[in-house]
Each structure stands twice: as structure tokens, then as C-alpha cells.
Amino acid sequence: MVTFTYIVRVVNGKREQLMKHLKKKGVDSGIHYIPAHLFTFYKRYRAVLPHTRSLYDQIVTLPLYCDMSDQDVDEVISGIKNFFKKNK
């Protein structure tokens, strides 16, 4: 199975809410791109990068893989649409 990543940006501090909402609908999501400057290895070089940190706090990785059925895709899309209809 080949997997891909599909990243969306969720503004207004609602990322965690979206992830919980999707989980209740049976859709796994994640946070896969941690900025390099936050890794322990780079701790002694750590810089303040407010834009990088802000974007990191807003991104969510959605499921996307070759074997996804149309129903799986529809569930992801439906879960996201439903969340944003409720959280305008």
C-alpha cells in the first residue's frame, strides 16, 4: 500500500476540535510535520519562529491512500463539511 499525505489548515484554534470530531466519525487524522527547530536534536540552536509555530499549530493530516474506497473518501469529506457547518 502506498500512502500519501493531504494537509489542511484549520484556523481559529479549531484543529483539535476538528480532529476529535473526525475521530468520532471513525476518521483518523494526525499531525505529521513538526518543524525541525522543535526537535530535541536542534534544541541548542532553537530559534523563535512565530510563523512556523503558528502554521504548525494549524495543520492536520487527513487520510489518503491508494486503497481508499469511495465511501472512505466520502466519510472524510462529509466529516469535514459537517464540522465546519456546525462551527462557522
User: In this structure, are residues 49 and 35 in contact, taking their beta carbons and an 8 Å threshold?
Assistant: yes
CB neighbours of 55 closer than 8 A, spacing ≥ 6? Answer: 9
pLDDT of residue 3: 62
pLDDT at 2: 59
Classify residue 1: in a domain, yes or no.
no
Contact 76, 8 (CB under 8 A): no
Which pLDDT score is estimated for 1? 55
Task: Quote the domain boundaries for residue 80.
Answer: 6-86
Is position 80 within any domain? yes
**How many domains are there within the chain?**
1
* Strands (E) located in the chain: 6-9, 59-62
Rg (CA), the chain: 15
Residues of the chain with pLDDT under 70: 1-3
Residue 46: inside a domain: yes
CATH number, residue 24: 3.90.1150.10
